[in-house]
């Protein structure tokens, strides 16, 4: 299968690596490896994960890490990674939480 990245996804990966490397270089290598391993699985099994918040997207969680890879799969099975998000970040199609409740 083909695995492509939109520019934003590449920026996400660089930012994650840079941030972790500043605090713990060994951890940065480990995180990079886990993300790469998850991308390799995604390349072999494009429909892994669950439906994303944005219609037409899928999400796969990086095992043992708080990162979610958001991607699309075209009719030919090619995967396009559109972002790598920390689980606490809003992802495409996800609404801001209503922290005040309905009574605002």
For residue 102, is it within any domain? Answer: no
For residue 103, is it within any domain? Answer: no
For residue 98, is it within any domain? Answer: no
For residue 91, is it within any domain? Answer: no
Task: Transcribe 51-82 into DSSP letters.
Answer: E-SSTT-EEEEPTTSSEEEEEEE-TT--EEEE
Report the CATH number at residue 31: 3.30.2310.20
Domain that holds residue 31: 3-86
For residue 45, is it within any domain? Answer: yes
pTM exceeding the 0.85 threshold for the entire prediction? yes
Task: Look at residue 90 in the predicted model and tell me its pLDDT.
Answer: 82
Tokens of residue 52, six digits: 């994303």
- pLDDT tens digits along 74-83: 998 899 999 9
Q: How many CA atoms lie within 13 A of 15 on its CB side?
A: 11
For residue 97, is it within any domain? Answer: no
């Amino acid at each position: 299968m083909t695995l492509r990245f939109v520019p934003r996804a590449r920026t996400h990966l660089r930012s994650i690596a840079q941030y972790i490397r500043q605090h713990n270089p060994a951890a940065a290598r480990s995180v990079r490896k886990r993300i790469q391993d998850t991308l390799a699985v995604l390349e072999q099994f494009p429909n892994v994960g669950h439906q994303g918040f944005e219609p037409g997207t899928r999400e796969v969680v990086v095992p043992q890490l708080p990162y979610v890879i958001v991607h699309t799969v075209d009719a030919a099975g090619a995967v396009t990674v559109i972002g790598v998000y920390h689980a606490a970040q809003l992802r495409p199609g996800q609404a801001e939480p209503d922290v005040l409740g309905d009574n605002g």
